[in-house]
A and B are shown apart, each in its own frame.
Chain A
Amino acid sequence: MTVTIVDYGMGNLGSIRNMLKRIGVDAVVTGDLESINAAEKLLLPGVGAFDAAMGRINAGGLREVLDRKALEEGTPILGICLGMQLLTRSSEEGELKGLGWIEARTRRFPPSRHLKVPHMGWNLVREARPSPLTRDLPEEPRFYFVHSYFVDVDRAEDSILKTRYGVEFDSAVQRDNIYGAQFHPEKSHKFGMRILQNFAEL
C-alpha cells in the first residue's frame, strides 16, 4: 500500500517522504493526474499562500481529480498545514474558494504584542473526539506548528484535535475519509511519525 503525495508545486514534499520512508511506508511524490487518480491514499501538503495553492490546484484538471477521489471514491486524504486550510470553504488570506470538503473557514490570528503571529513552535493538542488518525499518540502529545491562519469548523464533530494559541482552534479535523492536520507531522519527530503511521494504516 502506497501513500501518494500530491505535488502541485508547493509543499515540503521531501521531508514528508523522508519520514514515511523512516517508518517503513511506501510513498510516491507525483503531480501526474493519472497516478493521483489511481492512488489508494492521498496526502496534500502545503506551504505558502492560499490563493497560490488553489490557483495551482484549479489549473490543469487536478481539482476535478481530487474532488472525485475525495468526495465520490472515498479515498483517504490527509491535508497538512496549508493543505488542511485548502480543505475549507475559504480563507481570509485569499480571494479564491477552497476545496470546501470540510465545512469550515480559515481565519487569521489577530496580531498582538503578546501573541506573535505566525503561531510558530511546538504546542500541545487536546483530543476533541477520538479518530483513527490520532490514536495511540505518545504521552503529552505536541507538534510543530507554523501558520498565520487557523481553521474554524462549523460542526463540532469535524474537529478531532484542538490547540490553544490565544484562541482555541482546530488543529486536526476529520470528516469521513477526509483528514487535516494544521501542524507538520514531518517535523514533529515521534509524534508526527505516529500520525503518519496511523494514516498509512487506515
Chain B
Amino acid sequence: MLRTRVIPALLLRGASLVKTVRYGRFRYIGDPVNTVRIFNELEVDELLFLDISATPAARPPNVDLLADIANECFMPLGYGGGIRDFEQARAVFDIGFEKVAVNTAAFEKPELISRLAERYGSQAIIGVVDVKKDLLGRRHARSHSGRRNSRRDPVEWARELEALGAGEILLTAIDHEGTWDGFDVALTRRVADAVDIPVIAHGGAGTVEHLGEVVREGGASAVAVGSMVVFQKKGMGVLVNFPERDALERVLGTTQAGGLR
C-alpha cells in the first residue's frame, strides 16, 4: 500500500522561511534549519523547498543554506527556485537533495529538463506548473513565480513537461495558495488525467479533508501543504505542525495502488 505523500512545501526568500498568499504578501515564518529540525522530529514524508524570489531576482540557489538544511534531514528533499542551468541543478543534487523543481527555465530551455532527466533520472525532476486565472477567468501556466503569463494551457504544458522527461508535476493553483479554502480540484483532475506521471497538488490546503478531496476527486498522487503546516490556524500565529497520522489515514486511506499488505 503506497501512502499518499503529504509534503510540506516551504517557501524561501533569501535565507528566511516565508509564507505568502497567492504568491504575494510575504510573511516571515522563521529560520529554515530550525523548521526542518521540527519536521524531522515529526517524521514527515518529504520536504519541498521553493525559493519563489530567486527567479524574479535572477538569483541562483543558495547552496550554503541548502547544505545546512540537507544535513538535518533524513527524508526526501526537493528544491525549486532559480534553477536555470545544469550546473546549478547539479550543485543542488550534490548537496544531497533528491529532486529539483524547474519552472521558468523549462519555458526558455526545455532541453534542460531532458538533460537533467537523462543524467539523474526522471524521478529526480519535478516539472512545475504554476497556474493563474487571467481577467477573463482562463487558466494559463505562469513563469517567474507567477509574474509572467506563458499563455500555455496548463494541461498541454504538463504533457510537454512529461514528454521532456519530468518524473512528477507540481501543480500550483496560485489563486488558491495561502487561502486555506481548498485545492483547485477540477484543474488537478484535468492534469492528472492527461499525464501518466504523479501530480502533486499544491495551493489551498486548509484541512485534512481538503487533502482527501483533491486525491479522491482530483486524482492527485500527492499533496503539498504550506499554510496548514506553518500556522496554528488561519489568521493565527506561526506554529510548525503536521497533521496526525490517524487523521491522514482516515482521509487518505488506501491509495490507487490498492491491495492490502
Binding site for B on A (CB under 8 A): 12, 14-15, 18-19, 22, 47-49, 111-124, 126, 142, 144, 146-148, 164-166, 184, 186-190, 192-193
**Is there contact, CB below 8 Å, between A124 and B1?**
yes
What chain A residues lie within 8 Å of B96 (beta carbons)? 12, 14-15, 18
Q: In angstroms, how far is the closest chain B Cβ from the Cβ of A185? A: 9
Check B3 for interface membership: any CB of A closer than 8 A. Answer: yes
B75–A144 CB distance below 8 A:
yes
| Among B5, B74, B76: residue with most chain A CB under 10 A | B74
Can you list 20 residue pairs at the A/B interface with Cβ under 8 Å?
Answer: A14-B70, A14-B94, A14-B95, A15-B74, A18-B71, A22-B74, A47-B124, A115-B256, A116-B196, A118-B123, A118-B167, A121-B4, A121-B5, A122-B5, A124-B261, A126-B261, A187-B76, A188-B74, A189-B40, A189-B43
Task: Name the A residues within 8 Å of B256 (CB-CB).
Answer: 114-115
User: Which of B94, B193, B222, B259 interacts with A164 by CB under 8 Å?
Assistant: B259
With the chains together, A39 CA to B5 CA distance in Å?
38
Query: Are A48 and B257 touching (Cβ within 8 A)?
Result: no
C-alpha gap A188/B70 in the complex (Å): 14
B123 & A164 in contact (Cβ 8 Å cutoff):
no
* Minimum Cβ distance to chain B for residue A182 (Å): 13
Contacts of B71 in A (CB 8 A): 18
Q: Which of A15, A142, A190 contacts B70 (CB 8 A)?
A: A15
Query: Lowest 7 CB-CB distances: which A-B pairs, in order?
Result: A14-B96, A15-B96, A189-B74, A118-B123, A116-B198, A121-B5, A146-B123
Residue from the list A19, A112, A121, A164 in contact with B3, Cβ < 8 A = A121
Give chain A residues whose Cβ lies under 8 Å from the Cβ of B193. Answer: 113
A residues near B196, Cβ cutoff 8 Å? 111-113, 116-117
In the complex, what residues of A have CB within 8 A of residue B105's CB? none
Q: Is B213's beta carbon under 8 Å from chain A?
A: no
Interface mask (B162-206 → A, CB under 8 Å = 1, otherwise 0): 000001100000000000000000000000010011100000000
Given A14-B94, A146-B76, the answer on whether A165 and B2 have CB atoms closer than 8 Å is yes
Verify A123–B2 contact, CB threshold 8 A: yes
Does chain A have a CB within 8 A of B120? Answer: yes
Q: How large is the interface on B (under 10, 10 to 19, 20 to 34, 35 or more residues)?
A: 35 or more
B56 contacts partner chain A, Cβ-Cβ < 8 Å:
no
Once the chains bind, are A147 and B123 in contact (CB under 8 Å)? yes
Query: A48 contacts which of B120, B221, B259 (Cβ < 8 Å)?
Result: B120
- A156 to chain B minimum Cβ distance, whole angstroms, is 18
- Chain A: CB-nearest residue to B3: A122
Give chain A residues whose Cβ lies under 8 Å from the Cβ of B76: 144, 146, 184, 187
Q: Check: B138 CB closer than 8 A to any chain A CB.
A: no
Measured between beta carbons, the chain B residues less than 8 angstroms from A165 are: 2, 257
Question: Distance (Å) between the CB of B223 and the closest chain A CB?
Answer: 12
Given known pairs A18-B96, A116-B196, A116-B197, the reply for A48 and B70 (CB within 8 Å) is: no
Given known contacts A12-B96, A113-B196, is B123 in contact with A188 (CB within 8 Å)? no
- Chain A residue contacts of B258, Cβ below 8 A: 114
A12-B98 in contact given A121-B4, A122-B3 (Cβ < 8 Å)? yes
Q: Is A120 in contact with B3, judged by CB distance below 8 angstroms?
A: no
Q: Is the CB of A19 within 8 A of B74?
A: yes
A residues in contact with B104, CB < 8 Å? none
C-alpha gap A123/B254 in the complex (Å)? 11
Which of B75, B123, B168, B261 lies in contact with A189, CB distance below 8 A? B75
Please, how many angstroms separate the alpha-carbon atoms of A123 and B5 in the complex?
10
Chain A: minimal CB distance from B73 (Å) = 8
Per the bound structure, the CA–CA distance linking A166 and B256 in Å amounts to 9
Interface check B160, CB cutoff 8 A: no
Q: Interface code B63-90, partner A: CB below 8 Å = 1, 0 otherwise?
A: 0000000110011100000000000000
Closest to B4 in A: A121
Closest chain A residue, CB of each to CB of B74 = A189
